[in-house]
Amino acid sequence: MKTKTKTKMFALLLGTSLAVTSFTGCGNQAEDGGTGEEDPQEIVEIVAQICTLTEPGDGFYKMEDALNEMLEKDIGVHVTFERTDVANCTTDATLAVSSGEQMDVIISFGTAAQTWDSGMCIALDDLAEQYAPDALEQMGDYVAQCKIDGQLVGLTVTGVNADGYGYQMKKSIADKYGFTRDVDKLYTFDELEDMFQTIEDGEGQPMLMQVSTASGSMGINNAFCFDNLGKTYFSYGGLMLNNNNYDPTEVVNIYATPEYADYAERMYQWAQKGWISADAAVTTDSADEICTRDDVVGMLAYGSFDERLNQTVSWSDEIVVFNMQPSVTMGSLAGMMWHVTPNCEHPEKAVEFLNYFYKNPDAYTLVQYGFEGEEWEVVEEEGDKKLVRWMSDNPVELPYYIAYPWIGNQLSLPVFEPNPIDMNEIKQAIEKENTVSPALGFVFDESEYSTEVSAINAVVEKYSPSINAGAVDPAGLLPEFLSELEAAGMNDVIAACQEQLDAFIAENS
């Protein structure tokens, strides 16, 4: 597929070159010796990574061709997309950059610090100010999440932080037992447990209320509000937010807090009741696969705060979400980021290319959703707003489908039914109420503590799957877990992180 794209692109460039030569040599001469007509715009070739679930097919190349018609006319850029996936995008980018292969725009999924530290991207501050004003304006607080040591290292997609965390229950079960949610409140574990007991009593048999797997559980996000400072394993510690018992600027060992101990004990009690599977800590089945079973009620996951926003999942036709924690704008780096490599010969055009999707919603819609009438169709229009639907029950089967957000503002995209047509406005209002971390824009420099961080990660991987899945009694294992974290250097790393965070806050206050 890659060869096909490059061959096609070469033909386009060759045709453009011949057209320019022919135009210049044969045009009517003006009084100043020119052709009497405006010279065609020079087309700059950009190579950019794109994440897709499957290898590109004809629908992908049709999208690429249509996009290039827009790009060439509007900003003088021709893009060739190089397909990658979430798991391999950083490895693919490293190979391309280190080998000298043309690769202008690369993607990081939670690896932006690694991308920057390894010299695979350049600072964009001046370039973005001149060539990406639309992106900077629309990104807002997200700009701070794209900086390392005060330098802008990439741009990110916006409009994705409008959800908090909650318990996702199959609507058929919620309806059966009369459970309806109050969107103005945050539910507690005690309230969930009351519902679980009612369901178990009514069904007359054990039901799985929470799904955990060997790869982890999202349940801890529902237990308390925190900023993990960019590390899933809390390797640097974390900040406890929305909690009167803590200073939100104090870095603490999350695993040593009473809140984590309470969460661990609850998961253990749930497992004892049969509400979590006995093999949850070791199973390699995906959570979505497990949730399709008839004996599964739901799981702790994400949750939309507005009842008009449909929460869609792959494992149930409809769900009811009982929100437990608010949405948080983390202080860590943005999860998805697009960078310009040092190999790029035209970084100004690469940045202008990224900005184009913020400036041109039609181009963003094309890359994100494909073509109207082929991948999606309009259900309702209201001014500039569109309510649409996929033209297949399984979008993956469509000629073109991309599962991951591309660069741009998601709040400018059409809305998919059964959401309301004004979903984007609703999400904007929710985002304004986000809990914002005091560490917004902070990135811990772990260069002097890489050995300790690796050791901490190994300890967490050893203990947390079993504890989070309720597979072991935390009364015996949690002290052992904490002891090994301390031996791995957790306290030293937290102290260093606190020192850097204090300096960061003082500098930016």
The string of pLDDT tens digits covering residues 257-300 is 999 999 999 999 999 999 999 888 888 787 878 888 999 999 99
**How deeply is 108 buried, as exposed, middle or buried, from its count of CB atoms within 10 A (0-12, 13-18, 19+)?**
buried
Grouping H, G, I as helix, E, B as strand and the rest as coil, residue 388 is strand
Q: What is the dihedral of CA 70, 75, 77, 78, to 10 degrees?
A: 10
Distances (CA, A) of 485 to 390, 444, 462, 463, 479: 48, 19, 11, 10, 10
What value does the mean pLDDT of the chain take? 85
Dump pLDDT digits (tens) for 121-162.
999 999 999 999 999 999 987 898 899 888 999 999 887 655
With H, G, I as helix, E, B as strand and everything else as coil, classify residue 453. helix
What's the rounded Cα separation, in Å, for the pair 285 and 189? 26
**Spatial CB neighbours of 369, under 8 Å, sequence gap ≥ 6:** 375, 376, 388, 413, 414
CB-side neighbour CA atoms (13 Å) of 296? 21
Q: Indicate the residue type of 120.
A: M
Instruction: Please give the angle made by the CA atoms of 132, 382 and 313, to the nearest 5 degrees.
Output: 75
Q: Which regions of 307-457 does DSSP assign to beta strands (E)?
A: 319-325, 328-329, 336-340, 376-382, 385-390, 415-416, 435-436
Q: Rounded to an integer, what distance in angstroms lies between the CA atom of residue 81 and that of residue 105?
A: 9
Higher pLDDT, 361 or 87: 361
Residue whose pair of structure tokens reads 């100010």 in the numeric block: 129
Helix, strand or coil, per DSSP, at residue 497: helix
- The closest of 472, 466, 488, 477 to 235, measured between CA atoms, is 488
pLDDT value for 489: 97
CA distance 247 to 1: 53
Q: What is the pLDDT of residue 333?
A: 77
pLDDT (tens digit, 9 = 90+) per residue, 154-192?
999 887 655 678 899 999 999 999 999 887 788 999 999
> Boundaries of CATH 3.40.190.10 in the chain?
1-25+39-155+332-436
Residue 186 has a CB neighbour count (10 Å cut-off) of 19
* pLDDT exceeds 60 at position 508: yes
User: Do 259 and 219 contact (CB within 8 A), yes or no?
Assistant: no
Most confident by average pLDDT, 95-104, 208-217, 392-401: 95-104
* Alpha carbons 64 and 480: distance in angstroms, whole number: 54
Q: Which CATH superfamily is domain 1-25+39-155+332-436 in?
A: Periplasmic binding protein-like II (3.40.190.10)
In angstroms and rounded to an integer, the radius of gyration of the C-alpha atoms of the chain is 25
The region that residue 194 occupies, defined by phi over 0 for left and psi between -120 and 50 for alpha, beta otherwise, is alpha
User: Which residue, 311, 305, 307, is CA-closest to 328?
Assistant: 305
Taking the CB of residue 38, how many other CB atoms lie within 10 A of it? 7
Number of Cβ atoms within 10 Å of the Cβ of 225: 23
Position 161 scores a pLDDT of: 57
Q: What is the pLDDT of residues 333-382, one digit of tens each?
A: 777 899 999 999 999 999 999 999 999 999 999 999 999 999 999 999 99
3-class state of residue 157 by DSSP = coil
What is the SS3 assignment for 339? strand
Helix pair angle (450-468, 258-273), 10° resolution: 40
Structural domain 163-329, CATH architecture: 3-Layer(aba) Sandwich (3.40)
CA distance 221 to 301: 8
Q: Are strands 328-329 and 435-436 parallel, antiparallel or unpaired?
A: parallel
**Residue partners of 420: CB distance under 8 A and separation at least 6:** 308, 309, 387, 426
DSSP sequence for 173-232? HHHHTT----TTS---HHHHHHHHHHHHHHHTS--B-B--BTTB-THHHHH--EE-TT-T
Give the pLDDT confidence of 18-75 residue by residue, as tens digits.
Answer: 333 332 233 333 334 444 444 567 999 999 999 988 889 999 999 999 999 999 999 9
pTM of the predicted protein model: 0.70
**CA of 480: how far to CAs of 451, 460, 487, in Å?**
21, 11, 11
Is residue 231 very low, low, confident or very high in pLDDT (cuts 50, 70, 90)? confident
Which amino acid, residue 347?
A: P
